[in-house]
Amino acid sequence: MKLYLQKRVLQKIYKLFKGALPLLLVWMLKTVYYRLLFYRVNGYWMATKRDFRFFIPSLEAASLAAIDLFEESYERYFKVKPTDVVVDVGSCLGSFSVYASRATGSKGLVVSIEPAPENLFHLKKNLSTLKNVVIIDKCISNFKGEVTLYLSPSFRSHSMINCTANALKVPTDTLDNVVSALGLDRVDFIKINVEGAELEVLEGANKVLKMAKKVVVEAHHVRDGKPTHLRVKELLKKHGFYVLVTPGEKVYATKG
């Protein structure tokens, strides 16, 4: 039965990656290296490893499960440390939140923030057994109220900025308000991946950025004709961070 399921999974993955065989090869090598198996059970896709399960909406998410769960994808220049308070803005399915939960340990905390309903459904399943994670189901911006969330066909690309025909209204708040409501007196590591709205997130985080030590922002979008990483870098430098932008336009910022 396992062999049959794995064969069906590999057939679907091949169709998904057809025309991009190098990516398929990388995915297969990572899957073997991390000893992951993929199943469809009761209508849900799962990446499994021994007693570990990670729910994914489709095989498009298989590469995320095979890589992001076990690699330091946001730790190129600094790491999540034991006891850290980590804020994950734009948690998607929860791969980084799961990773950070392991890294920070029982004396740390992960605040996992995701507004998209389908992603949130899988996120809650993936984080349900983790005792050091708090889930916030809203957008993060520079004001408190309601915002339009534009839904993409890809689970990775829902956005407050990039308009699509499919949209819904969701609650939004500032990062300052969320951290204050949780009663946190420190934030050690912030990861932001919000599909173009990174500037709004940072504009609503003035107090949090004063206490934060490490920030990583996905900033590969273009707004008003300018790459967002340029404005993200400028804003973080004003808050006293040393900032470095990678060739892939991921912004790393640290103090001290």
Question: What CATH number does the domain containing 125 carry?
Answer: 3.40.50.150
Answer whether residue 74 shows pLDDT above 60: yes
What is the pLDDT averaged over residues 17-44? 65
Are 87 and 187 in contact, with CB atoms under 8 Å apart? yes
* Mean pLDDT of the chain, nearest integer: 85
Is there a domain that residue 37 lies in? yes
Residues 61 and 97 reside in one and the same domain: no
Does residue 177 fall inside a structural domain?
yes
Whole-angstrom Cα distance, residue 18 to residue 201?
A: 36
Q: Are residues 33 and 111 in the same domain?
A: no
Task: Indicate the residue among 15, 38, 67 that finishes a domain.
Answer: 67
Kindly state whether residue 76 falls inside one of the protein's structural domains: no
Are 188 and 245 in the same domain? yes
Does the pLDDT at position 26 exceed 70? no
Of the CA atoms within 13 Å of residue 138, those in its CB half-sphere come to 18
Whether residues 39 and 94 share a domain: the answer is: no
The reply to whether 115 and 158 lie within a common domain is yes
Position 240 pLDDT exceeds 90: yes
Q: Looking at the structure, tell me whether residues 91 and 62 fall in a common domain.
A: no
Rounded to 5°, the CA angle 240-81-230 comes to 35
Written as six digits, the tokens of 225 are: 């004709």
> Tokens 């490893």 appear where?
49
Its pTM stands at 0.86
Residue that terminates a domain, selected from 11, 36, 67? 67
**Token couple for 202:** 């940072």
Residue 182 has pLDDT above 60, yes or no: yes
- What pLDDT shows up at residue 4? 40
Judge whether 75 lies within some domain.
Answer: no
Instruction: Write down the pLDDT at residue 7.
Output: 47
pLDDT at res. 66:
57
Top-confidence residue, 118 or 19: 118
User: Where does a domain end: 67, 100, 115?
Assistant: 67
The pLDDT score that the predictor gives to residue 40 is 80
Averaged pLDDT for residues 53-76? 73
Model confidence at 151, pLDDT cuts 50, 70, 90, reads confident
User: Reduced to 3 states, what is the DSSP secondary structure of residue 9?
Assistant: helix
Q: What average pLDDT does this structure show over 84-104?
A: 94
* Whether residue 62 is found in the same domain as residue 151: no
On the question of pLDDT at 15 being above 60, the answer is: no
Domain assignment of residue 248, given as a range: 85-254
Range name among 47-61, 105-119, 164-178 with the lowest pLDDT average: 47-61
Residues 26 and 90 in one domain: no
Q: Could you tell me the pLDDT band of residue 2, with boundaries at 50, 70 and 90?
A: very low
Domain contains 201: yes
pLDDT tens for residues 121-145? 999 999 999 999 999 999 999 999 9
| Cα 171 off chain centre by | 19
State the total domains in the chain. Answer: 2
Query: Does 136 reside within a domain?
Result: yes
Q: Which residue has the tokens 């900033």?
A: 219
More confident: 221 or 82: 82
Is 161 part of a structural domain of the chain?
yes
Looking at the fold, whether 173 and 117 belong to one and the same domain comes out as yes
Q: Does residue 3 surpass a pLDDT of 50?
A: no
Q: Which has the higher per-residue pLDDT, 35 or 118?
A: 118
Q: Are residues 229 and 155 in the same domain?
A: yes
Spatial distance between the Cα atoms of 168 and 148, rounded to a whole number of angstroms: 6
Asked, for residue 74, whether it belongs to a domain, the answer is no
Q: Taking a C-beta distance cutoff of 8 angstroms, is the pair 102, 68 a contact?
A: no
**Do 221 and 109 lie in a common domain?**
yes
Count the helices and strands in the chain (H runs, E runs).
9, 15
Are residues 60 and 161 part of one domain?
A: no
Q: Which residue has the higher pLDDT, 31 or 169?
A: 169
